[in-house]
Structure 1
Amino acid sequence: MNLLAIETSTEACSVALVHGQEVIARSELAPRRHAELALPMADALLAEAGLGRHALDAIAVGRGPGAFTGVRLGVALAQGMALALDVPVVPVSSLAALALEAPEDEAAVLAVIDARMGEIYAACYRREGNGGLVALDEERVCAPEALVVPQAEAWNVVGSGWTTYADVLRGHLTGELRQAEGDRYPQARRVAELAVREFEAGRAVPPEHALPVYLRDKVALTLAEQGRPAP
């Protein structure tokens, strides 16, 4: 199959192309430049594979949670391309894609993204032997101090939430911390891996049904919450 995946929910902008058994990808840490980078990355990958857009069977997208602007952009791009090509969309959790950046072992994985405003996006997973993921709890947004994780003998942690809140999060883990990498971001290559499974399981959706997942409605602190006087 031929599948194009887009992931723009965090500082990393990435696009990946599944072409038969091969996966090729582009990724760049480029805050606020996702809109100018994503489509050229997609065109470059298609050109490298020698494919036209109409050869695509589906568009996959990291549907969040993450930065509001980035999540909206990724979903809008996926919807627009899918509508133009008359193909379905495969929405994939950005936290699940991030979890695949953890080491491939039996330890539980905490995927955690800095949500700003003193909060984190978090979810826990366990890797399956066939390369898939099993969710151990629900995705949520919460203060790092309020995080509760399932029981596990060992943990790997990935994501920017660790960079910001390592001291707090370490105290909430229920077992040995094996590895923690705060400089990991959801990647389109991982979105593509999960999307192929979803597509083959018949869980692709019409473009209009591919919706972003924000987990919270509030995008910024008020002036009072920031401790600043009103103008």
Structure 2
Amino acid sequence: MMKRPLLAIDTAGAVCGIALYQRGEGQQERLFTRELEGVRGHAQHILPLIDEVLAQANCTRGDLGAVAFNQGPGAFTGIRLGCSVAQGMALALDLPVIPVGMLPAFAAGLKAPAQDGLCLMAADARMDEVYFAAYGPYGPHGSYERLTLQWPVLISAQDCLPYIARRLSYWVRAAGVQQVTLAGDGWALMNQTLCHQTLQEAVPEIVLQDWHAQTPTVDVQSIARHAWDLWQQGRYVDPALALPLYLRDKVAFTTQERELGQGGNPKAAQPEDILLLPMSEHDLPEVAALEAESQVSPWRETQFKEALEAGYPAWVLRNSADQLVGLCVMMIAPDEAHLLTIAVSSDVRRQGLASKLLAQVLEVARQSQAQQIVLEVRVSNQAARLFYEQHGFVEIGMRRGYYPCPENGREDAQVLALRLTAGSSA
């Protein structure tokens, strides 16, 4: 027996695509699509295309079970259009919305052996820049999503290889694999021989495979299939919380900026020296040591291990000398994110590293469609409370006797929250 169908919308690129998708218990599929290529004015075509697909499938809007859309990155206007149409239909029909990131949808659609290894995804972002992300194998317990090692970033094509080379050994270690696939049309902007040489020198034991010549860009069918998987796993949001994913802040300078000497097009930011990396089991002894240095009642190494096994997003910061100087762990719930622990080495405090970790937490929370971020902080920790206040957190409650004290007493925890509003992801 098939569940109610899902309607998928893709207006993030040059093609305006609509799909109606169903999958039965025996994995049999029912798929209807309509696409218009090279369409500039998606807005005038999207509703007629939806009607055509519904008619083709002999369905009505009332038969739908969910609405999905390609949240990007991609064209500003297109992403906003797809998001707003999905929101409008979902609100009118009381349906959930499934925002689907373009890069994870692409990675999810790769076939074996790329499916079981590390995927370095580079999509052409125009202006000699790429949208880049790194994904490991699929998660445990039948997860529908691959392990995210590097969340999507915008980077210049010339900076991409050095960026990857400095991080590749950590990604390979965190993923626990040696098979590495280069996927996406962004790799065509780089010299293939240099790519292989640079990455092989960075991690000699990896086995490289190119897919950029064989794999198409994400289409509405792949968006629909990935959205269905997310829907079955409960990964959907209230329509009011559905947001586009923007990685590019701007595509042109203002008149005032040009008068001040800014020319050409705005460029992607330069990669930073401090590496933000996924936490792996290899990091845990250093992680536990830094946690013990920073917290009154620190997590034990086994607790960090359990968090990784549970799939909690966690990161470390490493400097150019490969020293671990920061850490954080968060948990994603259906409607909120919870910052569980964050610490920075005493040697490098007040250099913006805690803000860098918090920015990553905010980014992941937004991309996960969380409505707010919550955390607890000791009432006696004035420095931490000021830090969170400066980043927009406000008190929403108090947990009495929440924290243990060294003297066997208990200390209250202030509960803080940051409401996540609609807006672009930097």
CA contact (8 A) 2:70 2:99 kept: yes
The residue type paired with residue 263 of structure 2 is E
CA contact (8 A) 2:34 2:49 kept: yes
In structure 2, C-alpha distance between the alignment counterparts of 1:166 and 1:10, rounded to whole Å: 25
CA contact (8 A) 1:110 1:155 kept: yes
Alignment partner, residue 134 of structure 2: 124
CA contact (8 A) 1:161 1:182 kept: no
- Are residues 1:9 and 2:17 paired? no
Q: 1:29 to 1:111 in 2, by over 3 A?
A: farther
Write out aligned runs for 1:133-144 (5 A). 133-134=145-146, 135-144=148-157
Q: 1:33 to 1:107 in 2, by over 3 A?
A: farther
Question: Percent of aligned positions with the same letter in both sequences?
Answer: 35
Alignment partner, residue 178 of structure 1: 210
Shift of 1:13: 2.5
SS for the counterpart of 1:18 is strand
Alignment partner, residue 334 of structure 2: none
The residue type paired with residue 130 of structure 2 is I
Alignment partner, residue 226 of structure 2: 194
Shift of 1:20: 4.5
Q: Please list the CA deviations of residues 110-159 of structure 1 after superposition, one character each: whole Å capped at 9, or x if unmatched.
A: 32222233321111224549694312321111122333253363433333
Alignment partner, residue 75 of structure 1: 83
Aligned residue among 260, 264, 267 for 1:226: 264
Alignment partner, residue 344 of structure 2: none
Alignment partner, residue 212 of structure 1: 244
Worse-matched range after superposition: 192-201 or 43-52: 192-201
Q: 1:43 to 1:115 in 2, by over 3 A?
A: same
What TM-score do you get using the length of structure 1 for normalisation? 0.83
- Are residues 1:37 and 2:45 paired? yes
In structure 2, C-alpha distance between the alignment counterparts of 1:73 and 1:182, rounded to whole Å: 30
SS for the counterpart of 2:45 is helix
In structure 1, C-alpha distance between the alignment counterparts of 2:183 and 2:45, rounded to whole Å: 25
What TM-score do you get using the length of structure 2 for normalisation? 0.48
In structure 1, C-alpha distance between the alignment counterparts of 2:89 and 2:14, rounded to whole Å: 22
Alignment partner, residue 390 of structure 2: none
CA contact (8 A) 1:102 1:156 kept: no
| Structure holding more helix per residue | 2
Q: 1:154 to 1:36 in 2, by over 3 A?
A: farther
- Are residues 1:104 and 2:112 paired? yes
Runs of 4+ in 1 over 6 A off after TM superposition: none
In structure 2, C-alpha distance between the alignment counterparts of 1:182 and 1:69, rounded to whole Å: 29
CA contact (8 A) 2:120 2:134 kept: yes
Cα-Cα RMSD: 2.8
Q: 1:113 to 1:38 in 2, by over 3 A?
A: farther
Q: 1:39 to 1:110 in 2, by over 3 A?
A: farther
SS for the counterpart of 1:60 is strand
Structure 2, unmatched stretches of 5+, are 25-29, 201-205, 266-426
Q: Please list the CA deviations of residues 150-186 of structure 1 after superposition, one character each: whole Å capped at 9, or x if unmatched.
A: 3363433333323334557556545413322387222
Aligned residue among 87, 103, 121 for 2:95: 87
Alignment partner, residue 163 of structure 1: 188
In structure 1, C-alpha distance between the alignment counterparts of 2:79 and 2:11, rounded to whole Å: 6
- Are residues 1:58 and 2:66 paired? yes
Q: Please list the CA deviations of residues 51-90 of structure 1 after superposition, one character each: whole Å capped at 9, or x if unmatched.
A: 1011111100111111212211111111111122121111
In structure 2, C-alpha distance between the alignment counterparts of 1:207 and 1:214, rounded to whole Å: 18
Shift of 1:220: 2.3
The residue type paired with residue 208 of structure 1 is A
In structure 2, C-alpha distance between the alignment counterparts of 1:155 and 1:170, rounded to whole Å: 11
Q: 1:14 to 1:166 in 2, by over 3 A?
A: farther
SS for the counterpart of 1:78 is helix
CA contact (8 A) 2:73 2:247 kept: yes
Whose relative contact order is higher, 1 or 2, with alpha carbons under 8 Å and at least 6 apart?
1
The residue type paired with residue 43 of structure 1 is D
Alignment partner, residue 22 of structure 2: 19
Q: 1:172 to 1:114 in 2, by over 3 A?
A: farther
